[in-house]
Amino acid sequence: MKAMKYTITDLRADFPDDAACLGWLKDYLFPDGISCPTENKVTPHHKLSKRKAYSCELCGHHTYPTANTIFHKSSTPLTLWFYAIYFMTATRAGISAKQLERELGVTYKTAWRMFHQIRSMMGDDSELSGEVEVDETYIHPDPSKNSRLKSESGKRYHNSQVIFGMVERGGKARVKHVKSAGKRVLVPEIQKGIKVGSTVFSDEWKAYDKLPMYGYPHESIKHSANQYVAGRIHTQNVDNLWSNMKRGIKGVYRHVDAQYLQAYVDEYAFRYSHRNDFQPMFWALIGQVAKK
């Protein structure tokens, strides 16, 4: 089924001003109405004219829908936040904070903070199952150097960071920034991220050799022998994720500090996981506001 389109015109029609954004947020977070803690029940609430808040009709208690979301205590208009979320989902490769600065007319510092907050909604620790492909790769803080890294599995390069991916065939992806590509790191990640009994497909890296001992049927493809597909045995899905992620980081973000790398790989994993959704990706992402 073809995915629904959601254009910038649709966004402007749905969220023409901050009141519309706040109203949507209130309805989304409190679908059954706002429960007043003073009255200890759901009561009628009215929007306050000069605050991002709703007041209880009976006692005047204030409720802020933006509390405990990425919008909490932000002076940036909600319309700009919604535009930033839209831009984040409207491209496969991502959008830089510098470009967002130009698009929204905010400072670079504000644009960077907005994107960092938005990425905090993109992490997904859902358990994968069925047929799952796993692989490790390396990303250098300076993405221009990625193409110069050798391809031998299991070797850590100067300043390179290890990324571990798990991709459910026909489903979601989980990507983790890990400290090494050794068995003691990767096997626990598989146990946390993949349901026991699922079939795991990998290359011949030795860290995966003992997976059957932990309850995972395991098949491997020998990349070192230039073998890439043997029937259902391959890692093409996770390889495609790596290709999109590395091209995006190199082409859009230029430089990624190791301390923020998990947030960046979460962004690409989120796009991959929702690539075939019927609903527009904007709604999938903005529906995560309660996670923050």
Domain boundaries, the chain: 131-258
Would you tell me the crossing angle of helices 108-119 and 97-104 to the nearest 10 degrees? 120
Write out the E strands in the chain: 35-36, 41-42, 45-47, 54-56, 62-63, 131-139, 161-168, 173-178, 199-202, 218-220, 229-230, 233-234
Over 60: is that where the pLDDT of 150 sits?
no
State how far the Cα of 165 lies from the Cα of 242, in Å rounded to an integer: 8
Query: Could you report the per-residue pLDDT of 204-238, keeping only the tens digit for each?
Result: 999 999 999 999 999 999 988 888 899 999 999 99
DSSP class per residue in 170-194: TS-EEEEEES-SSHHHHHHHHHHHB
State how far the Cα of 177 lies from the Cα of 26, in Å rounded to an integer: 35
Inter-CA distances, 202 with 6, 137, 166, 169, 281, Å: 36, 12, 10, 13, 29
Q: Is 43 within 8 Å of 34 (Cβ atoms)?
A: yes
Q: Which two tokens stand for residue 149?
A: 């890294």
- Global pTM value: 0.88
Query: Could you report the per-residue pLDDT of 224-282, keeping only the tens digit for each?
Result: 888 889 999 999 999 999 999 998 888 888 788 899 999 999 999 999 999 999 999 99
Q: Which CATH superfamily is domain 131-258 in?
A: Ribonuclease H-like superfamily/Ribonuclease H (3.30.420.10)
DSSP character at residue 79:
H
pLDDT given for residue 152 in this prediction: 42
